[in-house]
Amino acid sequence: MPIVEKLLQQVEEKASRATPIALCIGAHWTMVTLEVAGERLAGISSTLHGGSDDHHHGKRPPVPQAGRLLEKSTPDLAALAHSDSLLEASVGLATINALLDVDVSACREVNAEEIIVEQGTGKNVAIIGHFPFTPRIRSIAKETWILELNPGEDDIPAQRAPEILPQADVIALTGTSILNHTFDTLIKLCNPAAYVLVLGGTTPLSPLLFDHGVKAVAGTRIIEPDAASQTISQGATFKQIQGKQLLTLFP
């Protein structure tokens, strides 16, 4: 079963009791705020556009119901995680992240970069997606591969994942792979003995990822929805988002 479907099943009961109260699709991050039994909950996801200009030519807009999304039920908002439109999928995954019951006692406030350094020193490391700590990883790893859909200098095209991932001892997989529906394919390419970490603000802090061989899940919990919404709506990058807590979940 695809990971998105498993996540939807995990939050299904809570979603039936939740009411959408706010939604923001910012330049870099999308945030959904819900209310459950008087408690406000919020979740975020990367804002992915997919690079299509179809909407300029009278074709399907990325969000056909823009302006009316809050009229949807919470289960319907969460189900947008299935959408072929990455902008709609961003809303869906942010909704799922708002609904997740995070076991904070099973988490540590440790930076994902430190986990990669600890596990990857002297080993072969593959990183899917670009992160600011890449130069440090190159300095401590035996071999470092950066797989990118739009590769820059020293990057490797993402299409080479079937060749690269089986060779890696440590794999850092961005949470946006769940958003763009590539997670299920990529995780199957990983060496079963590899230390796989899923990281980034989009990453669902869910133990379901451990069922796929993931060893650590580094994500973000929104603890002050108003502060987070204000910064996200004004174009905040991840570092600029206020009201967030960085957590890493371990088995």
Given a cut of 50, is residue 66 above it in pLDDT?
Answer: yes
Are 173 and 196 in contact by the 8 Å Cβ rule? The answer is: yes
Place of tokens 């190159």: 138
pTM of the model: 0.94
55 has pLDDT over 50: no
Tens digit of pLDDT for each residue in 10-54? 999 999 999 999 999 999 999 999 999 999 999 999 999 864 445
Q: How far is CA 199 from CA 7, 21, 60, 190, 226, in A?
A: 16, 27, 32, 16, 24
% of the chain exceeding 70 in pLDDT: 96
Predicted confidence at residue 129, as pLDDT, reads 83
Q: Judge contact between 147 and 156, C-beta under 8 A.
A: yes
* 164 pLDDT higher than 50: yes
- Confidence at residue 172, expressed as pLDDT on a 0 to 100 scale: 98
Nearest-angstrom CA–CA distance, 147 and 212: 20
SS3 174: strand
Pairwise CA distance, residues 148 & 133, whole Å: 15
Q: Domains in the chain and their CATH numbers?
A: 3-102 (3.30.390.100), 105-222+244-249 (3.40.50.11590)
Beta-ladder partners of 34: 20, 41
- DSSP annotation string for 15-77: HTTEEEEEEEE-SSEEEEEEEETTEEEEEEEE---TT--GGGGTS--SSTTTT-GGGS-HHHH
Q: From the CA atom positions of the chain, what is the Rg in Å? A: 18
pLDDT score of 149: 83
pLDDT at 58: 52
* Average pLDDT estimate for 126-131: 90
114 band by pLDDT with thresholds 50, 70 and 90: very high
What's the whole-number average pLDDT of the chain?
94
**7: closest CA among 99, 107, 72?**
99
The predicted structure's pLDDT at residue 74: 98
29-36 and 18-25 beta bridge pairing? antiparallel
DSSP tag of 158: G
Six-digit token string for 195: 């230390």
Q: For position 151, what pLDDT does the model report?
A: 86
For residues 138 and 21, give the distance between their C-alpha atoms in angstroms, rounded to a whole number.
Answer: 44
Tell me the per-residue pLDDT of 182-219, one tens digit each, with 9 for 90 and over: 999 999 999 999 999 999 999 999 999 999 999 999 99
pLDDT reported for residue 50: 65
The predicted structure's pLDDT at residue 51:
47
Residue 144: its pLDDT value, please? 97
Query: What pLDDT shows up at residue 52?
Result: 47
**Considering only CA atoms, which of 205, 204, 160 is closest in space to residue 186?**
160
